[in-house]
Amino acid sequence: MTIYKWIVVTLLTILLSIVVFFAVVVLLDRTEASGR
């Protein structure tokens, strides 16, 4: 059960990192586009 929990936590962390990365990229892109 410990290994299962570790895998779930790792996958959630990776997923969260990807979501945050794309959110930052989109926000920066919108800021740059509106600044032109």
Give the pLDDT score at 12: 98
The CA distances from residue 18 to 4, 24, 35, in Å, are: 21, 10, 26
Give the pLDDT score at 30: 84
Dump the DSSP string for 1-36.
Answer: -HHHHHHHHHHHHHHHHHHHHHHHHHHHHHHHHHH-
pLDDT in tens, 15-34: 999 999 999 999 988 877 77
pTM, 2 dp: 0.69
Give the pLDDT score at 36: 59
Give the pLDDT score at 33: 78
